[in-house]
Amino acid sequence: MSGETKFSVMCSLFNWIQKSKSSTKKRSKFRKFLDTYCKPTDYFAAVRLILPNLDRERGSYGLKESVLATCIIDALGMSRESVDAVRLINWRKGGAKTGVNVGNFSLVASEVLQRRQGMISGGLTIKELNDLLDRLASSENRAEKTSVLSDLIKKTNAQEMKWIVMIILKDLKLGISEKSIFHEFHPDAEDLFNVTCDLKLVCERLRDRRQRHKRQDIEVGKAVRPQLALRVANAASAWKKLHGKEVVIECKFDGDRIQIHKNGHEIHFFSRNFLDHTEYIHGMSNFIKQNVLVDRCILDGEMLVWDTSNDRFADFGSNQEIGFPYALLHVAFDILYVGDSSVIHQSLKERHELLKKVVKPVKGSLEILVPDGGLNVHTTAGEPCWSRIAYNVDDVETFFKRTIENRDEGIVLKDLESKWEPSDRSGKWLKLKPDYVRAGSDLDVLIIGGYYGSGRRGGQVAQFLMGLAERPAPNTYPRRFVSFCRVGTGLSDEELDAVVNKLKPYFRKYEYPKKGPPTYYKVTNNSKERPDVWIDSPEKSIILSITSDIRTIRSEVFAAPYSLRFPRIDKVRDDKPWHECLDVESFVELVHSSNHT
């Protein structure tokens, strides 16, 4: 009978796996659980709890840590001002009394729950838990979610609830890979999942764990896990890896990997995490129906945004609000299925030929990427080519340099003889990207000025002038900031709006040349990067984490000795006060040390 496996048994399993150091031990615990404690009819119910991020049967919970925190506080009937409530809300930073678990939401939650829940298991079965999680996902507002959480709290102890919180956040931190889970479950599980992206189907079809399954090919309408690219350090090592092969080099577009499945009038847009992006139907379906010349097919490519008024790619983030002049553009770089058969076993060269036959390109809407052809749009450098055959390492080097100048993400090299393999990252495709200084907490710099945008963001601040601090005397705050770089990309429109709105009261128009810059900012006289507004007091400003191409440039435009090539905003550091801005000396040290490695 289904539904008998108790959740408490799974919690013990989770604890064991987490505690075990070696992956062999972790795997054997899971195998024992399947062999001994889990009924075959419960396989799906159990596996979806251990691999929650692969489960597409249940919709999204709409619960990130911050909302989950308030729901738990309400479900426990706590005052929002109580010490524990503040601890939950501030789980990332810790409250007045900083606990050891700061930064780990489920541990902070379990600390809080432990004081309110008993030790005795509520006896919940995994079937009952899944039913409650279904209710949680389908409940429409916070009150309903809170009531489901309160039910869950009643039926569990703190230990069980900790794991439930992790299931809801879709990360169990068990230190066992998805691959190992699949392998212990069934030798064919991983392959079957890769071509169906359907956990339920895998658990049900492979319920007899000793019976081998016939290898399955891809199907139209079922997402397939994409062929991936292996990262290489430079053009020479890429060339060495593909030695003797016929190689195509392509621009690495910076959008979203989307598989288009066309089955007559039914069209799906599957992303890498196999969600069907129905929001693309409106902007794309007609182009696909009219210009994909077969009834059934799967195209593999990148979804991008095309700026129709300037005839160029727009930042992908702007696709949240597609509308004139922005339009969706799918660049198909591969084809996986044509008519009634899969073509992934054919060579890439053959698939390029098929792509040319099957897709009639439409400028700025549906393009194909094939060597020395396709893609009717020009690079910034004015060259019409985004893909070409490489004959030697210099070809690779030149192509890479050009994409960098063009500010593209990098390049992808592909073996033209290779077949397309789901989820493979063995090196048939290689990617070469400029190295970025991973900002982390290192390149946290302060906004000191702003630039008005154009077009959509006309009349509003859309880019920032960033400053490094002049190193202050010990135990004092910095008093002066040195102009450092100009940055505009990286944030979503919402994030940018939030920063601009917070700073608006402190914008002071730069009335050049009538008035000089504020004395607490050091800038050069160079007119190139003169901001439109200054932040009139650094103490009110905001820190941003900046990432960049590792090659810093000696700067005459900015007051700091070096600036960044192609800087991007990585995140807004609301949690960092203005005075923790990186200082010039530390930055220079960082530049020198990265140049030595």
* Contact status, residue 260 vs residue 455, Cβ threshold 8 Å: no
What whole-number distance in Å separates Cα of residue 585 and Cα of residue 562? Answer: 11
Contacts of 30 (CB under 8 A, 6+ apart): 13, 17, 50, 176, 180, 181, 184
Per the annotation, the verdict on 252 as an active-site residue is yes
Q: Which of residues 368-407 bind ligand ATP (CB under 6 A)?
A: 369
- Contact yes or no for 10/49 (Cβ under 8 A): yes
Distance from C-alpha of 132 to C-alpha of 154, rounded to nearest angstrom: 12
Q: Which is nearer to ligand ATP, 226 or 467 (CB)?
A: 226
Contact 206, 192 (CB under 8 A): yes
CB of 249 to ligand ATP, least distance (A): 9
CB-based contacts of 442: which residues, under 8 Å, 6+ apart?
582, 590
If binding means CB under 6 A, how many residues of this protein chain bind ligand ATP?
12
Question: Residues 287, 333, 464, 587: which binds ligand ATP (CB under 6 A)?
Answer: 333
Q: What are phi and psi of 465, to 5 degrees?
A: -95, 125
Residue 513: cis peptide before it, omega within 30 degrees of 0: yes
Nearer to ligand ATP, 128 or 254 (CB): 254
Asked whether the beta carbons of 101 and 108 are under 8 A apart, the reply is: yes
Q: Which of 250, 307, 424, 470 binds ligand ATP (CB under 6 A)?
A: 250
Smallest gap from residue 170 Cβ to ligand ATP (A): 18
Query: Measured from the CB atom, is 180 or 227 closer to ligand ATP?
Result: 227
**Beta pairing partners, 359:** 292
Report d(CA 561, CA 529) in Å as an integer.
15
Active-site residue identified among 252, 428, 431, 433:
252
Which of 436, 506 has the CB closer to ligand ATP? 436
Dihedral sign (CA 103, 104, 106, 112):
negative
**C-beta of 55 vs 256, nearer to ligand ATP:** 256
Q: Interacting stretch for ligand ATP, rule CB under 6 A, among 125-133, 173-181, 251-259, 341-349?
A: 251-259
Question: Judged by CB under 6 A, does residue 257 bind ligand ATP?
Answer: yes
**Minimal distance, residue 366 CB to ligand ATP, in Å:** 15
Window 95-134: contact mask with ligand ATP (x via CB under 6 A): ----------------------------------------
Segment interacting with ligand ATP, rule: CB under 6 A, options 184-192, 209-217, 250-258, 340-348: 250-258
User: Which secondary-structure segment (H or E) carries 368?
Assistant: strand 366-370
C-alpha distances (whole Å) from 368 to each of 332, 343, 391 are: 5, 17, 22
Least Cβ distance, residue 415 to ligand ATP (angstroms): 12
Q: Give the 3-state DSSP-derived string for 460-472, with helices as H, strands as E and coil as C.
A: CEEEEEEEEECCC
Rounded-to-integer distance, Cα 9 and Cα 593, Å:
51
CB of 225 to ligand ATP, least distance (A): 11
Q: Residue 8 or residue 227: which is nearer to ligand ATP going by CB?
A: 227
Cα atoms in the Cβ-side hemisphere of radius 13 Å centred on 533? 23
Q: Which stretch binds ligand ATP (CB under 6 A): 69-77, 111-119, 247-255, 358-366?
A: 247-255
From the list 28-36, 60-68, 119-127, 223-231, the region that binds ligand ATP by CB under 6 A is 223-231
Binding mask of the shown chain, residues 434 to 463, with x at each position contacting ligand ATP by CB under 6 A: ------------------------------
| Interface region with ligand ATP, contact rule CB under 6 A, candidates 10-18, 75-83, 246-254, 550-558 | 246-254
CB of 497 to ligand ATP, least distance (A): 26
For the bound state, the minimum distance from the C-beta of residue 233 to ligand ATP, rounded and expressed in Å, comes to: 14
Q: Which of 26, 48, 186, 252 binds ligand ATP (CB under 6 A)?
A: 252
Q: Which is nearer to ligand ATP, 374 or 478 (by Cβ)?
A: 374
Which of 74, 190, 198, 302 binds ligand ATP (CB under 6 A)? It is 302
Q: Which two tokens stand for residue 441?
A: 């907490």
Residue 325 preceded by cis peptide, ω within 30: yes
Cβ of residue 303: shortest distance to ligand ATP, in angstroms?
9
- SS3 state at 162: helix
* Number of other residues whose CB lies within 10 A of the CB of residue 501: 9
The rounded distance, in Å, linking the Cα atoms of 409 and 431 is: 10
Best CA proximity match to 18, nearest among 122, 166, 121: 166
Q: Does 412 bind ligand ATP (CB under 6 A)?
A: yes
Q: What tokens does 174 get? A: 């068990």
> How near is the Cβ of 391 to ligand ATP at its closest, in Å?
19
Amino acid at 84: D
- Kind of pairing between the strands at 256-263 and 429-432: unpaired
Site for ligand ATP in 351-370 (CB under 6 A): 369
Least CB distance to ligand ATP at residue 373 (A):
14
Candidates 431, 486, 522, 530; binder of ligand ATP (CB under 6 A) is: 431
Piece in contact with ligand ATP (CB under 6 A), picked from 93-101, 208-216, 245-253, 543-551 = 245-253
How far is it, in rounded angstroms, from Cα 181 to Cα 30? Answer: 7
Residue 595: CB partners within 8 Å, gap ≥ 6?
A: none
Q: Does 228 bind ligand ATP (CB under 6 A)?
A: yes
534 and 521 in contact (C-beta within 8 Å)?
Answer: yes
Binding residues among 545-574 for ligand ATP as defined by CB under 6 A: none
Residue with Cβ nearer ligand ATP (159 or 259): 259
Sign of CA dihedral 443, 492, 256, 222: positive
Give the whole-angstrom CA distance, residue 463 versus residue 236: 37
DSSP state of 579: G
253 lines the binding site for ligand ATP (CB under 6 A):
yes
Give me the least distance between CB of 393 and ligand ATP, in Å please. 19
- Residue number, 253 or 562, with CB nearest to ligand ATP: 253
Return residues touching ligand ATP (CB under 6 A): 226, 228-229, 250, 252-253, 257, 302, 333, 369, 412, 431
Report, as residue numbers or ranges, the catalytic residues: 252
